[in-house]
Structure 1
């Protein structure tokens, strides 16, 4: 892996996602590309109100011009702070473009990235819509590369958790993660499946075990009995210092391990990094 896209609001970059992207870059010796996305109308209105209070109440067009330049200056400041932070964290970095981009620009450019790192609550609209935000849902649905939902805070990774149900989607996510992060070969790996019997089906267990054993030193298989959302959430909420890997987020044309509601619950509730890949 060589290219990590770090996406955030150009006017309000998220510190947690930056820290995790820097960790991944050091781990994989990759370059972090800062993707500064066009900020919200709320930010614009707030800046306009501040300008009006500072200089009285001249024409609306004049104030809007001042605010436009103020926004550009703030974005330049944030870009410089990002560069300085990369240097202090000993991370090789670049700015994809030295201006704010639209969300569609990120999605189009994702075809040329190895992965995207983003905070679950990234908001570019008129207000926050929780986690995952509508902007993050769009990135998950349309990106042409894997996406990592960054944790709010990060200490270390002790264990990998791969979710698997026999579908091409879940296997694709496992393989993408493994190819991007061979550095995790010595981490404990739990491959999780939730089904009615609570027993791993033998159909492809042997082949999957053989493939994983060629990439990891400590591979374990665990089957959970019951409802996917409930059992998986219960299992993950007891875990710390794990990296979670799951299949496609929302593509109607393929079989998924998680339906959309389960993925959203996972993102809202679990404070560990989540790797999501499409097929």
Structure 2
């Protein structure tokens, strides 16, 4: 049984995040822990100090306890209705996000429903709150849009880095049922003719977990055709290492591919060491 952390902020109850957890429970029973944070101003919650490091700013004072209580009641009702074993955690202080990091230490997966992720894809200044949540989480994170179809295909983003391999391995451990779906390992070549790095090694690994596997190497200018290629996939989920920091993820920054992901609202699985 997997322990799944479902994070809700203030008056936002993410139907998309719950629906993904519900679908996971249908394949194999899970323990779903609902974490209900006071409302935060996500535009300014985590900011960087001039001298380096991260400064945590207080949560807004005007959050409505009645709304949070209603969301907790809805969460419990949904879990009971779908026969999901659950827990509720609400004991957060004025600086809730560091405590969310601690919660992630004791979970197999965190699910976040965040439209802000899709709205900020490809921009110069991605959402600070989401970026730092992904960076500091101590378990893999799954970001879901509010409306989506459960994955029918898998895209493994591989750039030869340990981070990309780690993400692939963690996805295989957490979603063995999705490893049976049509899967494409994509390598974005920085230069033509270089080939997939450590190809024999990565083939040995992924072939042990994914039964319907294809390798695809993006050459020349990926922006010219990656968007069309991804648009043709059947309800894909993207598996990637530290998003927006290095390697393959840069292909999706300020490119047509980011528009495709934002338009199709793909679930994105992100894991880093």
- For the superposition of Structure 1 and Structure 2, which TM-score range results when normalised by the shorter chain? 0.7 to 0.9
Tell me the CA shift for residue 41 of structure 1.
6.2
Q: Note the 1:19-34 alignment, pairs <5 A.
A: 19-34=19-34
Query: Counterpart of 1:258 in 2: which secondary structure?
Result: helix
What is the Cα-based RMSD across aligned positions, in Å?
3.1
Tell me the CA shift for residue 133 of structure 1.
3.5
Query: What 5-or-longer segments of structure 2 have no aligned partner?
Result: 43-60
Tell me the CA shift for residue 263 of structure 1.
8.8
Query: What 5-or-longer segments of structure 1 have no aligned partner?
Result: 43-64, 124-128
Partner of 1:259: 250
Tell me, in whole angstroms, the C-alpha distance in 2 between the residues paired with 1:200 and 1:89: 50
State the aligned residue count: 247
Q: CA-to-partner distance for each residue in 1:44-87, whole Å, 9 max, x for gaps?
A: xxxxxxxxxxxxxxxxxxxxx9x77xx22221121011100111
Partner of 1:94: 87
Q: CA-to-partner distance for each residue in 1:238-273, whole Å, 9 max, x for gaps?
A: 33311110111255xxx6322397299376444111
Question: Does residue 200 of structure 2 align to residue 209 of structure 1?
Answer: no
Q: If each structure's helix is expressed as a fraction of its own residues, which one has the higher value?
A: 1
Partner of 2:39: 39
Change (3 A) 1:107 1:277: same
Q: CA-to-partner distance for each residue in 1:152-199, whole Å, 9 max, x for gaps?
A: 323332211101111111111000101111122321111011215666
Change (3 A) 1:89 1:72: same
Question: Does residue 159 of structure 2 align to residue 173 of structure 1?
Answer: no
Tell me, in whole angstroms, the C-alpha distance in 2 between the residues paired with 1:157 and 1:207: 26
1:150 to 134, 144, 163: 144
Tell me, in whole angstroms, the C-alpha distance in 1 between the residues paired with 2:102 and 2:224: 35
Partner of 2:53: none
Partner of 1:57: none
TM-score by length of 1: 0.76
Query: Counterpart of 1:259 in 2: which secondary structure?
Result: helix
Partner of 1:79: 72
Q: CA-to-partner distance for each residue in 1:216-245, whole Å, 9 max, x for gaps?
A: 211110111134566544432333311110
Which runs of 4 or more aligned residues in structure 1 lie more than 6 Å from their structure 2 counterparts after TM superposition? none
Tell me the CA shift for residue 122 of structure 1.
5.6
Q: Note the 1:215-234 alignment, pairs <5 A.
A: 215-228=209-222, 231-234=225-228
Partner of 1:194: 188
Change (3 A) 1:234 1:108: farther
